[in-house]
């Protein structure tokens, strides 16, 4: 197994799809199949199982894929360390996992400001639901994770910000009658959905009147803006659609329900100058709230 095989396994672990992996590597699908056969012959075991919509790793394949991810990350860290030993200018790469909301409303300005200071640092980031990104972070696919919600992480984490969860509507609402109003439901992170379900169950006897399920915050806010119902999102999601009525979610004791955004990183990150510099930069910008 060589470095090309490591990269192949990492991308296959990202995509779980042979066609998408082939496109990312700019090779044909038969070449991908041949790579798999050679690796399976080398290790004497089956590494993947083909599914109707992609592939799944066998337990042996998953061990090998995780090894590839760790090895490539360690190589990047070592390369950055050596490159920056003999220069005054920061060089190298940084891999970040970032929740959808933070990626849309905060990360572009943050990365722009950082790269003005450190133009030779190449930053890649992956956005999505925090539960999925946290899993990727645990697998070593990113050096830092900026995620919504408090995950069971035993190493370093900082609370960057917290904002109210809000009901948005184009017309005034009587919250006592909310179950009768059309609900534009955003298919969100499972942890947040559990929180919303608990809030609803504590306040109403009837199920919400869901008229549509959407997977885009922007689409949901456009539907709300046109008077087709209400939705529930973080407060910052309303910044692009002014003029809407906004009702913060509250517990039975009247306390507002907040959605937290935290920075997660590993204790040994201080050994990487790039990661250490970015952590210092983001904490200076956001002045973390005590946990």
Give pLDDT, residue 263.
96
Residue 82 pLDDT > 80: no
In terms of Cα–Cα distance, which of 123, 118, 122, 124 is closest to 88?
Answer: 118
Tell me: pLDDT of 81 over 70. Answer: no
* pLDDT one-digit tens code per residue, 168-207: 999 999 999 999 999 999 998 888 899 999 999 999 999 9
Question: For the domain 1-86, what is the CATH code?
Answer: 1.10.10.10
- Structure token pair of residue 281: 């930069």
Report d(CA 210, CA 203) in Å as an integer. Answer: 17
Q: Is 259 exposed, middle or buried (0-12, 13-18, 19+ CB in 10 A)?
A: buried
Position 87 scores a pLDDT of: 59
pLDDT of residue 273: 83
Across 213-218, average pLDDT: 90
pLDDT tens-place string over residues 231-271 = 999 999 998 888 999 999 999 899 999 999 999 998 866 66
What DSSP element (H or E) covers 51?
strand 48-51
Using DSSP's 3-state secondary structure scheme, residue 180 falls into: helix
- Give mean pLDDT, residues 124-138: 91
What confidence tier does 52 reach under pLDDT thresholds 50, 70, 90? confident
Q: How far is CA 166 from the centre of its chain?
A: 21
Token digits of residue 82: 């050596």
SS (HEC) of 228-265: CCEEEEEHHHHCCCCCCEEEECECCCCCECEEEEEEEE
Helices of type H across the chain: 3-15, 18-25, 29-43, 59-83, 100-105, 107-117, 130-138, 190-203, 217-225, 273-286
Q: What percent of the chain has pLDDT over 70?
A: 95
Q: Does domain 163-259 have CATH number 3.40.50.1820?
A: no
165 pLDDT tier (thresholds 50, 70, 90): very high
pLDDT surpasses 60 at 39: yes
Instruction: Give span(s): CATH 1.10.10.10, the chain.
Output: 1-86
- pLDDT band, very low/low/confident/very high, at 126 (cuts 50, 70, 90): very high
Q: What does each C-alpha distance from 66 to 43, 51, 75, 203 come to in angstroms? A: 15, 20, 14, 44
Mean residue pLDDT of the chain comes to 89
CATH 3.40.190.290 domain span(s) along the chain: 163-259
Predicted local distance difference test score (pLDDT) of residue 202: 94
- The CA-CA-CA angle for residues 121, 123, 124, to 5°, reads 155
Alpha helices (runs of H) in 16-85, residue ranges in sequence order = 18-25, 29-43, 59-83
How many Å apart are CA 219 and CA 215, to the nearest integer?
A: 8
Contact 260, 159 (CB under 8 A): yes
For residue 287, give the H/E element and its range. none
Percent of the chain with pLDDT over 90: 59
Is pLDDT at 4 greater than 70 in this prediction? yes
pTM of the model: 0.72
Mean pLDDT of 97-112: 94
């Amino acid at each position: 197994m060589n470095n090309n095989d490591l990269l192949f396994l990492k991308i296959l672990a990202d995509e779980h799809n042979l066609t998408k992996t082939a496109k990312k590597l700019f090779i044909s699908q038969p070449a991908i199949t041949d790579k798999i056969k050679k690796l399976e012959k080398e290790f004497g075991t089956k590494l993947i199982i083909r599914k109707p919509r992609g592939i799944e790793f066998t337990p042996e394949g998953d061990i090998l894929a995780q090894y590839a991810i760790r090895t490539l990350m360690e190589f990047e860290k070592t390369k950055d360390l050596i490159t920056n030993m003999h220069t005054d200018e920061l060089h190298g790469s940084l891999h970040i996992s970032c929740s959808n909301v933070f990626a849309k409303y905060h990360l572009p300005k943050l990365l722009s400001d950082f790269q003005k200071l450190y133009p030779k640092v190449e930053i890649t980031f992956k956005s999505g639901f925090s539960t999925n990104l946290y899993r990727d972070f645990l697998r070593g696919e990113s050096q830092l994770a900026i995620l919504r919600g408090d995950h069971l992480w035993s190493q370093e984490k900082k609370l960057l910000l917290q904002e109210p969860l809000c009901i948005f509507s184009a017309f005034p609402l009587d919250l006592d009658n909310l179950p009768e109003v059309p609900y534009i439901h955003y298919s969100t992170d499972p942890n947040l959905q559990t929180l919303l379900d608990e809030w609803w169950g504590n306040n109403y006897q009837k199920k919400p009147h869901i008229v549509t399920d959407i997977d885009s915050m922007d689409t949901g806010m456009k539907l709300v803006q046109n008077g087709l119902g209400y939705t529930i999102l973080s407060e910052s999601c309303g910044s692009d659609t002014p003029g809407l009525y906004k009702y913060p979610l509250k517990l039975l004791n009247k306390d507002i329900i907040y959605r937290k955004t935290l920075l997660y990183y590993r204790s040994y990150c201080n050994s990487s100058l790039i990661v250490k510099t970015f952590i210092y930069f983001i904490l200076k910008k956001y002045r973390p709230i005590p946990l």
